[in-house]
């Protein structure tokens, strides 16, 4: 009998209400917003740092854009051509 009396005298566990649900939902929404904003900012920062690609496969000789190219191989080839 003592076991039943102990069980009945315990307070009921706290029930979650609508307010707790909405607060949890709000926290999740804010956390998701921060993650999405961070991803968008990172993409915007990295979009301008994409390296240029050589249209001629790294062969500077007889390249149509050799004089305007700013890739390291073209710069070195122009520097060597000026030395000669």
Radius of gyration of the chain (CA): 34
Taking the complete model, does pTM exceed 0.75, yes or no?
A: no
62 within domain boundaries = yes
**32 is in which domain, residue-wise?**
16-50
Interior/surface letters 14-43, b for 16+ CB within 10 angstroms, e for the rest: eeeeeeeeeeeeeeeeeeeeeeeeeeeeee
The share of the chain scoring above pLDDT 90, in percent, equals 24
CA atoms of 39 and 48, how far apart (whole Å) = 15
11 within domain boundaries = no
- 59 and 45 within one domain: no
- 78 and 64 within one domain: yes
How many distinct structural domains can be found in the chain?
2
- 46 and 30 within one domain: yes
CB 74 within 8 A of CB 60: yes
pLDDT the model gives residue 24: 93
- 58 and 74 within one domain: yes
6 within domain boundaries = no
pLDDT tens digits along 10-50: 666 666 788 889 999 999 999 999 999 999 998 888 766 55
Contacts of 58 (CB under 8 A, 6+ apart): 73
């Amino acid at each position: 009998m003592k076991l039943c009396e102990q069980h009945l005298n315990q307070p009921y566990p706290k029930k979650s209400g609508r307010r707790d649900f909405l607060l949890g939902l709000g926290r999740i929404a804010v956390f998701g917003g921060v993650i999405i904003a961070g991803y968008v900012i990172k993409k915007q920062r990295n979009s301008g740092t994409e390296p240029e690609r050589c249209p001629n496969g790294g062969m500077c000789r007889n390249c149509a854009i050799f004089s305007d190219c700013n890739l390291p191989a073209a710069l070195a080839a122009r520097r060597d051509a000026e030395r000669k």
